[in-house]
A = this chain, B = another copy of it.
């Protein structure tokens, strides 16, 4: 559906917001940085909200692709944390946290539902990694909720302090 030019500009814009943040991005500086113009961005994405929605979807696709790559089954927690702690993924995860917070403050607009969606995405991955016999028990639900909390909380700590040694030790 999206034209070649559209995906090309979306990729460039995605790279831009990964380093500049998504909350207070504005069209003119963004367009200048990626060698385009506000006119073209508006033409291709309809509005700024449309562009933000596309960027959010792009980030989520990025995340889901990584999750799929990590797979499921035994040792999934360790692999998930390894992925979260990789320095190269820090811009993506900061962007993720930004979108998460924003979707809570401003439940309308392009951010809507982002936080809830990622919670479900991750719970699903963790569920698929549980033994079949506990998946649909209350204990299974509590267990993967706890695992997710541990990962997310550790990520918050890591993003704030950068102290990978301490946080990784806590998760071991």
Residues of A within 8 A of B (CB): 21, 23-24, 94, 97-98, 100-106, 115-116, 118-119, 138, 141-143, 145-146, 148-154, 156-157, 159-161, 166-167, 169-172
Contacts and interface: CB of A to CB of B under 8 A. Distances in A.
Copies in the complex: 2
Which of A105, A159, A169, A171 has the most chain B CB within a 10 Å cutoff? Answer: A105
A169 B105 contact: no
Q: DSSP class of A's interface residues: helix, strand, loop or mixed?
A: helix
A141 B161 CA distance: 14
Which of A97, A101, A106, A141 has the most chain B CB within a 10 Å cutoff? Answer: A101
Contact of A170 (B105, B118, B146, B159): B146
A102 to B, nearest CB: 7
Nearest to A166: B145
Given A145-B157, A153-B151, A166-B141, A105 B100 contact: no
